[in-house]
């Protein structure tokens, strides 16, 4: 569990995070959603210590990160895995070398042990034939998988993913989401995912924080989001007519109004006019 309290962050006179408080839960996919520029990446970078918040507290399982000395932070950072926006692989290293990098930096394993661990995590992300390939030689979806493998190679307690689906087709996106979800459950990790992907929200949104212009606007899960009364959130999530219709259908379904086929037929005849 990570609690963050009253996080503020500005760059010059631009306020990017304005008093954001929230709790992300262990063993869950915790989503941070919001339009481009709403502060998701800055928030995630504050949480992992890549940015220093101007004020506020970040508490990792009861331990205040903002209060820690450099040694304490170093220790904690080794329990954090990160998948950066755009994967951020080293172009001059093979897949295997990319995934081994954190082991080279932080573990005391010998070469054979490191290779075994790399094989293990590459298998976990369903990449068994790409060890010797360079990032330029693999697809976007494969790059994300390598990024995930690298993020989990040190067996982290906390996993941060910034836009794991950006640039992927909907089907591949869903596979990446399922993979992150599965890893989160299997290792009981506290996973924080920045996204503006609607499929992710609906598929894996167990605890969702919606950010609007640097502020917390709404918190809930993928069931509750259908019923949210926040106009800003609705405009963001159900931006198209198609999604608005899907939301309306789900609401009617939940109320039992379209449980029976005759009502459904009637509605379809009326062009889905929902009142
Ligand atoms: N290092 C920085 N220096 C100055 N301003 C910054 C810096 N990093 C981010 N910002 C500003 O902070 C705001 C929030 O940026 P952030 O990258 O967190 O948005 P985001 O929600 O992650 O957007 P996206 O969905 O496009 O990734 C933006 O206005 C951005 O210009
Ligand atoms: Mg971002």
Strand 55-60 versus strand 2-11 pairing type: antiparallel
Q: Which of 9-23, 135-149, 162-176, 231-245 has the highest mean pLDDT?
A: 9-23
Residues 41, 123: one domain? yes
Residues 130, 248: one domain? no
Q: Which domain holds residue 273?
A: 240-275
Tell me the average pLDDT across 128-140.
Answer: 93
Pocket of ligand 1, beta carbon within 6 A:
11, 16, 34, 36-42, 85, 196
- 245 or 42: whose pLDDT is higher? 42
pLDDT at 273 over 50: no
Residues 127, 249: one domain? no
Q: Report the distance separating Cα 135 and Cα 95, nearest Å.
A: 7
Residues 189, 223: one domain? yes
Cβ proximity of 6 and 59 under 8 Å: no
How many CB atoms are closer than 10 A to CB 71?
8
pLDDT at 271 over 60: no
How much is the pTM?
0.88
Tell me the average pLDDT across 107-136.
Answer: 93
Assess if residue 91 is contained within a domain: yes
Residues 263, 132: one domain? no
* 16, 166, 196, best to mutate for ligand 1 pocket (most atoms within 8 Å of CB): 16
Q: Report the distance separating Cα 251 and Cα 162, nearest Å.
A: 30
pLDDT of 88 reads 87
| Cα end-to-end distance, the chain, whole Å | 41
pLDDT at 17 over 70: yes
Q: What is the pLDDT of residues 204-259, one digit of tens each?
A: 999 999 999 999 999 999 989 988 888 999 889 888 888 888 888 877 887 776 55
Assess if residue 234 is contained within a domain: no
160 C-alpha to center of ligand 1: Å?
17
Residues 74, 150: one domain? yes
Residues 250, 196: one domain? no
- 269's tokens: 């005849």
66: CATH: 3.40.50.300
Ligand nearest to the CA of 52: 1
Q: What's the mean per-residue pLDDT of the chain?
A: 89
Number of domains in the chain: 2
Nearest atom in ligand 1 to the alpha carbon of residue 51 is: 1
Assess if residue 233 is contained within a domain: no
């Amino acid at each position: 569990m990570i609690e963050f309290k009253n996080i503020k962050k500005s760059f010059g006179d631009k306020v990017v995070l304005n008093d954001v408080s929230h709790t992300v839960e262990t063993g869950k996919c915790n989503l941070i959603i919001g339009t481009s520029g709403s502060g998701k990446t800055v928030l995630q970078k504050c949480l992992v210590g890549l940015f220093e918040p101007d004020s506020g507290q970040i508490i990792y399982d009861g331990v205040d990160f903002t209060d820690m000395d450099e040694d304490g932070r170093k220790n904690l950072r080794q329990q954090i895995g990160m998948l950066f926006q755009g994967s951020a692989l080293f172009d001059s290293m093979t897949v295997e070398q990319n995934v081994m990098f954190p082991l080279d930096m932080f573990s005391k394993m010998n070469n054979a042990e490191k290779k075994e661990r790399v094989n293990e995590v590459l298998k976990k992300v369903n990449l068994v034939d790409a060890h010797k390939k360079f990032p330029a030689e693999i697809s976007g979806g494969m790059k994300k998988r390598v990024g995930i493998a690298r993020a989990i190679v040190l067996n982290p307690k906390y996993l941060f993913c910034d836009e794991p689906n950006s640039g992927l087709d909907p089907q591949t996106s869903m596979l990446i989401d399922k993979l992150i979800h599965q890893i989160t459950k299997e290792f009981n990790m506290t996973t924080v995912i920045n996204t503006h992907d609607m499929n992710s929200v609906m598929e894996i949104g167990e605890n969702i924080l919606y950010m609007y212009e640097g502020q917390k606007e709404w918190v809930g899960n993928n069931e509750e989001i259908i019923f949210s009364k926040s106009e800003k959130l609705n405009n963001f999530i159900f931006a198209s007519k198609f999604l608005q219709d899907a939301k309306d259908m789900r609401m009617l379904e939940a109320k039992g109004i379209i449980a029976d086929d005759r009502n459904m037929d009637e509605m379809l005849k009326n062009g889905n006019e929902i009142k």
